[in-house]
């Protein structure tokens, strides 16, 4: 005797093998070509079917509801269920939802249904489906397989109205990302040419925390634009700063309060590992040193110059792509500009100290405003702050003594670094900027003191590392040319 498991397995085989046969004899045909609602009623000796199909243009969902009545010898402990087939006979759904039978006084079994048809949204190209009703005794058998003499109705739904159909083109995200950093996911997709009844989707990054199996909300970019004649869109999708861990990320489209776009041909998730920012920065520095060493050796070695240069260029492009996605390219650019400023032999010391301080202050403003994602400010506010510092630091230009110019620049840089870091940490705790009235409250000062260890994160130390790197460049440049003086008698960074 076959067990319940083997009988169900045999039943699935029959469903898959006989799918085309099962879906070619519909009892009711519902056509939505010219209307959004279609109703049918089938009355036979062995069963009755009352069914309504309705397409909601606002949510783009297909609702199929109704009831099945039968007086056949069906066990009341069984459930009404269904299989769904495509217009080519392919099996779209092999195991539908369950609906219990309700016995009536005359011995008839009645089951109401509200079909779940996820393939309508997952495959926007589907415009025809056939639903074959069935009954199942859980864990034992399906009636169409074990008792084919018992008849069940089937419904054909034709000309299902079009739905939103977005097709992915490309996207890229590194597999290792820094924590506590605002990331940007580049993506491009196209859509079918439909100007009416479209969904109100907004573009965002779809992020899942693998460890807790929860969705991480990311900022929305606003409604996806449907410009006349446009067929594709490219966007940089912001990702909420993440904690260290394991995540699955992909470009996403969300229709708030309705659904996430989840068609079968949409972007696939990418597994990423988020590491502490100082770890990530250490890896970036190590790669930069390796690339620079490889490039220098390529010029020394005649035999391997060509292949090594090609490898270095490819690796540099790959690293640059990482820096663009993570936003760390601002940091690298700041260090490059610092080196250029320090090694300018034709400018005076005060001018170089002023330029280097402005480079650091500009980096600091952009880092807190954009990269750390702690304080959200308008770009105009950042520009205003940089312009203000450009005026305040002008006295550095007229300082002629090298030690005094660099000392003033170092004190100004460290003072603003510590102040801005404290402001950011304060904002993170109170969601407000510190003011004189706020700081007068002793209880708030106590709260900050008690919580400072939990508020300080690795991202708060990155500007300090950049400042140390710039200071090291100045010291090394001065030592390499100590004692030299410029023609006008002014001490410079290359003295």
Q: Residue 450: CB partners within 8 Å, gap ≥ 6?
A: none
427-432 mean pLDDT: 66
Rounded to 5, what percent of the chain is helix, strand, coil?
40, 25, 35
pLDDT per position as a tens digit, 364-401: 888 887 655 544 455 677 788 888 888 988 888 888 88
**110-119, 242-251, 451-460: which has the minimum mean pLDDT?**
451-460
Checking if the pLDDT of 3 tops 50, the result is no
DSSP-derived 3-state class of residue 31: strand
Number of DSSP helices (H) and strands (E) in the chain, helices first: 13, 21
Reported as a pLDDT band with limits 50, 70 and 90, residue 452 is low
The strand pair at 102-103 and 166-171 is best described as: unpaired
Q: Which of 1, 167, 19 is nearest to 83 (CA)?
A: 19
The full set of domains in the chain, from first to last, is: 4-158 (2.60.40), 166-275 (2.60.40), 328-480 (no CATH)
Reported as a pLDDT band with limits 50, 70 and 90, residue 451 is low
Rounded-to-integer distance, Cα 20 and Cα 216, Å: 42
Indicate the length of the chain as a whole number. Answer: 495
> Which pLDDT does position 25 carry in this prediction?
67
CA distances from 373 to 180, 316, 368, 385, 423 (A): 8, 27, 7, 17, 14
> Which pLDDT does position 121 carry in this prediction?
84
> Which pLDDT does position 101 carry in this prediction?
95
Rounded-to-integer distance, Cα 183 and Cα 3, Å: 54
**206-210, 378-382, 481-485: which has the minimum mean pLDDT?**
481-485
């Amino acid at each position: 005797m076959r067990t319940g498991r083997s009988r169900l397995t045999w039943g699935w085989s029959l469903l898959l093998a006989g799918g085309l046969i099962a879906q070619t004899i519909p009892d009711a045909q519902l056509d939505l070509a010219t209307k959004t609602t279609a109703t049918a009623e089938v009355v036979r000796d062995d069963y009755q079917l009352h069914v309504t199909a309705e397409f909601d243009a606002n949510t783009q969902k297909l609702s199929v509801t109704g009831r099945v009545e039968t007086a056949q010898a069906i066990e009341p402990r069984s459930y009404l269920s269904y299989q769904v087939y495509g217009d080519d006979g392919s099996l779209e759904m092999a195991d539908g939802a369950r609906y219990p039978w309700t016995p009536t006084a005359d011995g008839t079994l009645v089951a109401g249904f509200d079909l779940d048809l996820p393939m309508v949204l997952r495959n926007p190209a589907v415009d025809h489906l056939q639903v074959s009703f069935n009954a199942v005794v859980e864990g034992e058998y399906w009636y169409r397989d074990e008792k084919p003499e018992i008849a069940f109705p089937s419904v054909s739904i034709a000309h299902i109205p079009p739905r939103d159909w977005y097709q992915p083109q490309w996207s890229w995200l590194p597999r290792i990302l820094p924590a506590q950093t605002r990331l940007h996911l580049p993506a491009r997709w196209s859509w079918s040419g439909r100007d009416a009844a479209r969904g109100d989707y907004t573009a965002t990054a779809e992020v899942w925390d693998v460890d807790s199996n929860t969705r991480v909300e990311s900022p929305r970019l606003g409604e996806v634009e449907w410009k006349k004649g446009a067929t594709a869109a490219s966007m940089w999708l912001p990702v909420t700063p993440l904690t260290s861990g394991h995540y699955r990320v992909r470009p996403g489209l969300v229709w708030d309060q309705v659904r996430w776009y989840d068609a079968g041909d949409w972007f696939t998730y990418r597994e990423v590992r988020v590491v502490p920012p100082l770890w990530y920065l250490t890896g970036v520095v190590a790669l930069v040193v390796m690339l620079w060493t490889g490039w220098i050796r390529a010029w020394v070695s005649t035999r391997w110059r060509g292949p090594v240069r090609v490898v270095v260029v490819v690796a540099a492009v790959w690293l640059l792509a990482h820096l663009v996605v993570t936003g760390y390219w601002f940091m690298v650019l700041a260090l490059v500009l610092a080196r250029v400023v320090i090694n300018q032999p034709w400018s005076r010391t005060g001018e170089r100290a002023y330029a280097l301080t402005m480079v650091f202050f500009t980096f600091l403003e952009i880092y807190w405003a954009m990269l750390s994602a702690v304080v959200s400010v308008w770009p105009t506010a950042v520009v205003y702050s940089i312009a203000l510092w450009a005026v305040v630091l002008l006295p550095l230009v007229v300082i002629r003594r090298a030690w005094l110019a660099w000392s003033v620049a170092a004190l100004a840089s460290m003072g603003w670094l510590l102040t801005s870091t404290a402001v950011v940490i304060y904002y993170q705790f109170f969601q407000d900027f510190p003011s004189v009235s706020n700081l007068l409250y002793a209880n708030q000062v106590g709260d900050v003191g008690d919580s400072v260890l939990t508020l300080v994160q690795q991202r708060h130390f990155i500007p300090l590392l950049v400042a140390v790197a710039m200071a090291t460049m100045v010291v090394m440049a001065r030592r390499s040319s100590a004692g030299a003086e410029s023609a006008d008698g002014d001490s410079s960074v290359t003295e």
